[in-house]
Structure 1
Amino acid sequence: MRGKLMRPWWPLVAICLGTFLFLLDTTVLNVALPTIGTDLHAPLSGLQWVVNIYTLALAVLMLPFGSLADRFGARNVYVAGLTVFALASLGCALAPDTALLIASRAVQGIGGAAMSVSTFALIGAVYHGPDRGTAMGVFGAVTGLGAAVGPMLGGALTEYLSWRAAFLLNLPLVAGTVALTLRVLGNDRRPRAHRVDLPGTIAFAVCAGALVHGLTRAGEDGWTPAGYASIALAAVALAVFVVLERRCAHPMLDVRLFGRVPFAAVMLCVLASSAAFAALLFTSVWLQSDLGLGPVRAGLALMPLALASFATSLIAGRILHGASPRLVVGTGLLLSGIGCALQSGLDATSTASSVALGLAVTGIGIGVLGPAMAGAVFAAVPADRGGMAAGAMTTFRQLGPTLCIAVFGVLFRTGSGTAPAEGLNRVYAAAAAVGLIGAALAYTFVPRPAPVPAG
């Protein structure tokens, strides 16, 4: 009897395992990066690219991989993504220098993008009615669990084994996930689906890559001609992308959606929600480089955010179900901004406990935001653009941390020459400002849900 009850949920187990791996490799590095920098003699700019190249690959490839999932089947794309992710993890674990680590992380991002875009399609194909709501609730809880476990697991592996162990752990987990996926999930290939918008993908990749490169170079070397050239290239590539998408019969992103003020506001809120996550990288550097904490103690110091986010996401999904996206998104961003502000004001006498309250408040804000962001996106567009809007949301959600880390890197280095914590204070101040501005946008422009007709 127990096996019969469990059988319908094995597909969700396979999906959640891949999601957990995807998130774990994102959060583990927040604690492991300082040790990686010491081991590979990497400057802060190199460490930024270890994080940025991964999220940049995710941001660029989310939309085109969505088309591939429609064309070749979500299960096939999911399994291919898992395989690429595992091979790239092995490359990361064996990397002898920063350059090969960054290259392996880029490939890992390709696999991660394929995994990420397939999960929602698989849940939608397997579960219907009340079961779909249950599946999405479990999926959200696993997402929060990955964020909560990552810092502690990363700290333990780094301190007691090696930072390379964090990548090697993926290999057996991926093998088990692939085997389970092939056994319990069917395929949903649709050969008549539209082809991938390759010119638009290339233009978007050049735009995002050049923008991040220019900002990162500005933080490392100041505003040099090379930095300005990268920013100019990004602007040109953006213009080309807009022209291509407007002329394409089946664009991966209908840029005319941004002419709708509610949709543009929601996308800006998605970007704003990334600021608190981006600040964690510099918090980890401060905890280990300036305070001298080991990876495990640094992971413990970051746990207030992860645990608060996890607990709040479990509760908010039930309590705030049906609430106005305008209210929920605005409140989540407001709490996130307040939390970042509470972390500022550090000086030479500050300790890890000085940021604990701010991390917890930020985590509550992030937990409130998670369940509501999708509702805000769908309320901002016509029903027939829901899929494209969801793809845009996932793209902006990955692009946001990449851009924030690049910008915050400039602030962190600018301030760190005067006092050890001054650069981090500037990062927190900027993250707080982004959160508060995002809250104002949400309270003003995020649409309320349409009233349901009687009967």
Structure 2
Amino acid sequence: MTDTAQKQPHDPKWWTLVAVCTGVFMLLLDITIVNVALFDIQEDLDASLSDVQWVIDAYALSLAALLLTAGSLADLFGRKRVFVIGLLLFTGGSVLCGSATSVLFLSLSRAAQGIGGAAMFATALALLASAFTGKDRGVAFAAFGATTGLSVAIGPVVGGVLVSGLSWRWIFFVNIPICVVALVVTIFRVQESHNPRAGRPDWIGFVTFSAALGALVYGLIEAGQHSWGETKVVLCLVGSAVLLALFVVSQLKRRDPMFDLALLRKPTFTGGLVAAFGISAGVFALFTYLVLYLQGVLGFSAVKAGLIFLFLSGTSFLAAIVAGRLTEHVPVKWLIAPGFLVAGVGLLLMYGVDNSADPSQWHHLIAGLLVTGAGIGMINPPLASTAVGVVPPAQSGMASGANSTFRQVGIATGIAALGSILAQQVTSDVERGLSGVVPPQALGPLSEAISSGQVRVAAQIAGDGKAGEAVGRVGTQAYVDGLNTVLLIGAILCLVAGAICLVLIRQSDFDNAGRYDAPPAGGGGADSGGEQPKHVDPAAHEVPLEGGAHAAGAHVAPEDDAEIATT
């Protein structure tokens, strides 16, 4: 780009930054504020624990299933076009979510949000990369990182204010004005970009992967409602394994697969996938049950619950800024692996939560949230570099998309599996503690309500006498014990993921990445000046992550400056 173009007061690239940051702010804000609204959604829509799981997982499933495919469609048909479609779908889904009169309708609307979210996630960084070059690209990525960090940090508090001051429905309706701004700017100011070498989307891979993931999550959730040996549960889990095998075969047979399995030969890349899955399944999946504990067991308002979670999100934001700077000097394995150790210790500090609403008894919970947030902040900045920093530039989009997909798979399967474990323990404790106290036919409904964190509601249903007191006492202890069990499991997952990352992630994989041949004369990229070097330093370009952090290694292919990681 010439100096003249850079000095133009209405340079469209800055409008691209405004559009992308506005859309992603809406996207991430909506993800983080949903948790504090779960209890109100439960009460309003008479939802069970499995219903609550689907409210979260419907979004995560559609997002995970479509990320790679959305990136392919954007490269082929235009990134601006796909981003606009994503904005429209996400906002339409938000309107439907806010208007939902049943939990089934809400879950389906959340799935529609996930489809729009996938389209936006898959194109956001690609739009920035196609619009910015040189030093301006670093400025754009830094602004993007700050936006994502801000949305994650303030989400719980904003959600609490909206839920307490208006209604849970406004956590979805608030997206409408934000989307209008992003949509207008995108349509009238953002320039279109394509990948001239884009291939056809891998529909067989998309169908088999989506079906496998859906069957797995459905089976895990149903296990909590029935048992692991239930015929329906076994069929779902076996079917998921078969579909996953078909997906692997389809990827091996296809010339341009959705996910090149040869990438797994890079230990660091595989370690990054383990880290992405581990932080989501071991930490983020627990937020649902912690929120239900704060509101359903301790009786906190949505605002108070949001403020409690600010200890975690705020610390994560600050730690990510520090860790982002350290990535320039410290090998990523010495941030990611210790980060998992810190997060695991934080969850262990929370282990032992009780039914006390006395602020003097919250020290272990708050300490755990602070330490866990610090661990998250250490992991997020260098995580993307384990994907895009160890692969050839032309595969950076696929690698980054795979890493993001594993994050969502971790959320979906973690919520389903941990929720099932919690529900089964609660059911066992309630049946043992209330047998002979309440009618046998009431044990099932009471167990379901208590598993959902609605302990106070269950006690009110049982009445004001001894039965009601027994339900409140037994139900509270049952949920707290179940929560402590899944906190312990989350801590173990973090420690195991950290150990695996310590073994797999290698600095040598970064040193050998990014090699390619120079293009023919005159075939250089927009900011190349014609000839490209034989080797590109993996840290030459940086892609921001949550909390304003950056990940080295998001390369731009020499033949096309716009070809970059799509998530």
Q: 1:321 to 1:260 in 2, by over 3 A?
A: closer
Question: Whole-Å Cα distance in 1 between the matches of residues 156 and 247 of structure 2?
Answer: 37
Match of 1:427 in 2: 486
Amino acid in structure 1 at the alignment position of 2:504? F
Instruction: Give 1:145-224 correspondences, 5 Å limit.
Output: 145-190=150-195, 193-223=198-228, 224=230
Q: CA 1:138/1:322 → structure 2, altered by over 3 Å: closer, same or farther?
A: farther
Q: Distance in 2 between matches of 1:7 and 1:387?
A: 24
Letter in 2 for 1:385: Q
TM-score for both structures, normalised by structure 1: 0.95
2: distance between equivalents of 1:353 and 1:139?
35
Shift in Å at residue 336 of structure 1? 1.4
Indicate conservation of the 8 Å contact 2:340/2:375, yes or no: yes
Q: Spell out, residue by residue over 1:146-166, the C-alpha distance to the aligned partner (whole angstroms, 9 max, x if none).
A: 111111111111111111111
Q: Deviations over 1:32-83 (max 9, x none)?
A: 0011011000001101000001011000000000001101111111111000
The answer as to whether partners of 2:77 and 2:194 remain within 8 angstroms in 1 is: yes
1:227 matches 2:233: yes
The aligned amino acid for 1:355 is: L
Residues 329 and 372 of structure 1 are in contact (CA less than 8 Å); yes or no, is this contact kept in structure 2? yes
d(CA) in 2 for partners of 1:354, 1:435: 19
In structure 2, the residue matched to 1:254 is 260
Corresponding position: 1:318 with 2:325: yes
8 A contact 1:89–1:170 mirrored in 2 = yes
SS at match of 2:47: coil
The equivalent residue for 2:414 is 404
With the length of structure 2 as denominator, give the TM-score of the two structures: 0.77
Equivalence map 1:275-354=2 (5 Å): 275-349=282-356, 352-354=362-364
**Residue 58 of structure 2 corresponds to which residue in structure 1?**
53
Q: Are 1:377 and 2:387 matched, yes or no? A: yes
Name the counterpart of 2:89: 84
- Distance in structure 1 (CA, Å) of the matches to 2:93 and 2:395: 34
CA apart distance, 1:429: 0.7
Paired with 1:20 and 1:178, the residues of 2 have a C-alpha distance of 13
Shift of 1:190: 4.3
Distance 1:268 1:4 in 2: 45
Moved more, 120-129 or 100-109: 120-129
CA distance in structure 2 between the aligned counterparts of 1:387 and 1:322, rounded to whole angstroms: 25
Question: Judging changes above 3 Å, is the alpha-carbon distance between structure 1 residues 88 and 160 closer, same or farther for their aligned structure 2 residues?
Answer: same
Tell me the amino acid that sits aligned with residue 194 of structure 1. G
Residues 140 and 313 in structure 1, CA contact (< 8 A), matched pair in contact too? no
User: Aligned partners of 2:50, 2:335: CA distance in 1, in Å?
Assistant: 36
Partner residue, 2:548: none
For 1:208 and 1:400, the matched residues in 2 are separated by: 11
Q: Aligned match of 2:243 in 227, 237, 241?
A: 237
Larger proportion of helix:
1
Q: How far apart, in 2, do the equivalents of 1:451 and 1:193 lie?
A: 25
Paired amino acid for 2:414: C
SS in structure 2 of the partner of residue 188 of structure 1: coil
Whether 1:32 aligns to 2:93 is: no
- Identify if the C-alpha distance between structure 1 residues 190 and 260 changes in structure 2 by more than 3 Å, giving closer, same or farther: closer
Q: Which residue of 2 aligns with 1:273?
A: 279
CA distance in 2, matches of 1:423, 1:53: 24
Q: Point out where structure 2 has 5 or more consecutive residues left out of the alignment.
A: 1-5, 430-476, 514-534, 538-567
**1:294-323 deviations in whole A, cap 9, x for unaligned?**
111111111111101112222322233242
Higher Cα radius of gyration:
2
Structure 1 residues 35 and 2: alpha-carbon distance in aligned structure 2, compared to 1, 3 A threshold? farther
Assess, with a 3 A threshold, how the Cα gap between structure 1 residues 199 and 279 changes in structure 2: closer, same or farther: same
Q: CA deviation at 1:136?
A: 1.7
Deviation of 1:135 after TM superposition, in Å, equals: 1.8
Report the 3-state secondary structure (helix = DSSP H, G, I; strand = E; otherwise coil) of the residue aligned with 2:89: helix
Tell me if the contact between 2:270 and 2:504 (Cα under 8 Å) persists in the aligned partners. Answer: no
Which stretch of the first structure deviates more once superposed, 427-436 or 59-68?
427-436
Identity of aligned residues (%): 37
> Paired residue for 1:392?
402
- Partners of 1:2 and 1:243 in 2: CA distance: 52
SS at match of 1:234: helix
For the 8 Å contact 2:272–2:384, the answer to whether it is kept is no
Q: Deviations over 1:207-238 (max 9, x none)?
A: 00000000010112222110111001100100
Amino acid at match of 1:429: L
What is the letter of the counterpart of residue 368 of structure 1?
A: M
The match for 2:75 among 54, 57, 70 is 70
